[in-house]
Amino acid sequence: MSTWVSVDGRLSPAASAQVPALDHGMTVGDGVFETCKVVEGTPFGLTRHLARLHTSAGLIGLRLPWDDEHLRQACAATIDAASAEGDVGRIRITVTGGPGPLGSDRSDVPPTLVIAAGPGGAWPEVTAVVTVPWTRNERSAVAGAKTTSYAENVVALAEAHRHGASEAILANTAGALCEGTGSNVFLEVDGVLATPALATGCLAGITRALVCEAVEVVERDDLTLDHLRATSEAFLTSSTRDVHPIATVDGVALAAAPGPRTAAAAAAFRALEAHSLDP
């Protein structure tokens, strides 16, 4: 199936969708976005995703003129269009600064709303990760915002792929374990399930939050990459991975994949999803 795209309400297949060439999202990466998996035509956790979209926009000073009902209807229309060609597995909501100058200044124009719906894609049962030398800046002006400025992630993920891994794990500038390029990380430390605290600069992942609500997790700002390398079990979370067991870190196999804490988290998340598609 092909991906369908809505650009400010204009629906078309992705190949013919158009955004102005001088849109600030194109020229300087001025935008925010959310990705949801789609289950039986419904975006999972859409209320939480829309709340984070507003938070991200506020952090970068981007005004969103639409209410959540408008965004929900736009998502539904895009999913409906794509569903005519097959099962929709994911949807992405992107908001950019709209057409602007070639520099970093914004124009006083409405933002651009782009919604894309298409197939999902399957992850293997377990995955490999590698640590990389680049860092997250926990004091960045956009720390905590899910922005479209993803060049750092592109470079880090390409490095992971060169090592046969599906994700790159980064520390922050203080050396604390932070996150993956598109995921949060959980690991066993001293017999307890732990995850980097938001103070490390990691994104407040939707699946991360749901796991933290569903099982006992300790949030820490003093974990390091060495903790990840030495753990007995670990997993990634994201809106497309759900709870994804890590089998190897830097090419070294963990003791268990999935381990008991990973299995418990995955079971709790499945139960939550079975109870509600908008928890």
Q: Give 121's pLDDT tier (boundaries 50, 70, 90).
A: confident
DSSP letters, 72-127, are HHHHHHHHHHHHTTS---EEEEEEE--B--SSSPPPSSPPEEEEEEE------SSE
DSSP 203: -
DSSP 21: T
| Start-to-end CA span in the chain (Å) | 29
- Residue the block writes with tokens 């194109």: 26
pLDDT digits over 200-246, tens only?
Answer: 999 999 999 999 999 999 999 999 999 999 999 999 999 999 999 99
pTM of the model as a whole: 0.96
DSSP 166: S
H or E element at residue 227: helix 225-230
Calculate mean pLDDT across residues 242-259: 98
Calculate mean pLDDT across residues 250-276: 98
> What residues contact residue 194 under an 8 Å CB cut-off, 6+ apart?
186, 187, 188, 217, 218, 219, 220, 223
Average pLDDT, whole number, for the chain?
97
- Residue the block writes with tokens 């925010």: 32
Alpha-carbon span 115 to 245, nearest angstrom: 30
| Beta strand 112-118 pairing with 4-7 | antiparallel
pLDDT digits over 141-183, tens only?
Answer: 999 999 999 999 999 999 999 999 999 999 999 999 999 999 9
Question: Cα 5 to chain center, whole Å?
Answer: 19
Q: Of the candidates 191, 192, 180, 185, which has an alpha carbon nearest to the alpha carbon of residue 208?
A: 185
- Residue the block writes with tokens 């922050």: 172
Q: Of the candidates 80, 94, 82, 164, which has an alpha carbon nearest to the alpha carbon of residue 128?
A: 164
What's the confidence (pLDDT) of residue 1? 77
pLDDT digits over 12-44, tens only?
Answer: 999 999 999 999 999 999 999 999 999 999 999
- Let me know: does 178 contact 150? Beta carbons within 8 Å: no
pLDDT digits over 57-97, tens only?
Answer: 999 999 999 999 999 999 999 999 999 989 999 999 999 99
% the chain with pLDDT above 70:
100
